[in-house]
Structure 1
Amino acid sequence: MLPIVKQKCVEIRQEIHWTEKRIIESSFHIILDKKQLLIKDEKIPISKILDISYRIDQKQSSIGYLYLHTIHGVRTFHIREDPTYFIEIFKKIRSETEQYG
């Protein structure tokens, strides 16, 4: 699988201990190739994805949301970077897939 484009996502986890609460952030990439999206160890075929959209606040340090609309429902991912390019490439691949079968 040769990645065409990838989008960095953020995972936010809270750990609560006796005297403190910690917020732990880690990151991963959603990788797009010509046939599928790879999210960690999960593969989602392009044919199962209806759309990708996002909402992000213009504040520099804020968390945004990437919405993956699939035939099984909507999945939400936290993002800090603008996913416009990622979405444009997805839509181009999706239209080519529909056009050529």
Structure 2
Amino acid sequence: MKRLAEQPYVKMEREIGLTGQHYVEENRRLYLYADRIVSRHHVFPIEKVWDMSYRPVSDDGGLLYLHTSEGVHVYTLKESPEHFIEVFRQAIKKQR
């Protein structure tokens, strides 16, 4: 199935080594299809995704909230998800 949109996000991992604790930033992507949203470790059927919202946290980005029937999943973003959210809402309107 054709990908409708994609959104980069960042996963922060804490690592503890001999020299102490530090954080590693891993770049990942959310993919929006007509029937699902896919992250690295999750597949959300579109009928189980109720909404998306975004809250800027700083000038460097914010948090994307994916509201699903299984709870809220939060993704850390460095750029605006305006296009991703708009495409999602248009896809939902067509299905409902």
- Counterpart of 1:16 in structure 2: which amino acid? I
- Counterpart of 1:21 in structure 2: which amino acid? Q
RMSD (CA atoms): 1.3
Q: In the alignment, which residue of structure 2 is the partner of 1:30?
A: 30
Residue identity over aligned pairs, in percent, reads 30
- Counterpart of 2:79 in structure 1: which amino acid? E
Q: In the alignment, which residue of structure 2 is the partner of 1:14?
A: 14
Question: 1:41-79: CA deviations, max 9, x gaps?
Answer: 4321111000000111351xx341110000111111111
- Structure ID, larger Rg: 1
Structure 1's unaligned 5+ residue stretches are: none
Aligned residue among 71, 74, 89 for 1:73? 71
CA distance in 1, matches of 2:2, 2:73: 24
Question: 1:22-42: CA deviations, max 9, x gaps?
Answer: 210011111001111111143
CA distance in 1, matches of 2:63, 2:58: 12
Q: Normalised by the size of structure 1, how large is the TM-score?
A: 0.87
Q: In the alignment, which residue of structure 1 is the partner of 2:82?
A: 84
Quick one: structure 1 residues 56 and 89, their matched pair in 2 at CA, closer, same or farther if it must change by over 3 Å?
same
Runs of 4+ that moved beyond 3 A: none
CA distance in 1, matches of 2:28, 2:15: 19
Structure number with the higher strand fraction is 2
Structure 2's unaligned 5+ residue stretches are: none
